[in-house]
Amino acid sequence: MTLSEVAKLLEAEVICGEQYLDQELEFAGASDLMSDLLAFGQPGILLLTGLANTQSVRTAEIIDAKCVVYVRGRRPSQDGLELAEKSKMPILSTKFLMYKACGLLYSRGIRVTGDR
């Protein structure tokens, strides 16, 4: 599934990085605890979070995530947005709750981080 397909599935607004939405992905990870993502995230994941500050973008950078999707209509802070643009990190925002967003992705074959 491409990030563009994810955006459509989640009815998400593309906040930045539209030119990078042709990337394919297999895994997703969801958490508002960045420490969990640092411990269990893996390169190439789609990160779903409701934590809309700079730390979510920094964490995505560290674990080499492909994209950050903010749930519940959240949007990144201005500092986070600037960091994402500098890092060429696509940022999406969906009005769905994290539970629904994860369920939709799972139903389309996106696996949980570490699930083989």
Q: With 80 as the cut, is the pLDDT of residue 14 above it? A: yes
Contacts of 114 (CB under 8 A, 6+ apart): 27, 40, 42
Domain coordinates in residue numbering, the chain: 3-112
Instruction: Tell me what pLDDT residue 44 has.
Output: 92
Strand arrangement of the beta sheet that strand 27-30 belongs to: 13-16, 91-93, 67-70, 46-49, 27-30, 111-112
Q: What single-letter DSSP state applies at residue 112?
A: E
Instruction: Tell me what pLDDT residue 41 has.
Output: 86
d(CA 50, CA 106): 18
Q: With 70 as the cut, is the pLDDT of residue 16 above it? A: yes
* pTM exceeds 0.95: no
Residue pLDDT, tens place only, 31-59? 999 998 898 888 999 999 999 989 999 99
Could you tell me if 66 and 85 are in contact, meaning their C-beta atoms sit under 8 angstroms apart?
A: no
Q: With 90 as the cut, is the pLDDT of residue 101 above it? A: yes
Average per-residue pLDDT in the chain? 93
Give me the CATH code for the 3-112 domain, please: 3.40.1390.20
69: its two tokens: 């999707």
Percent helix / strand / coil, the chain, rounded to 5: 40, 20, 40
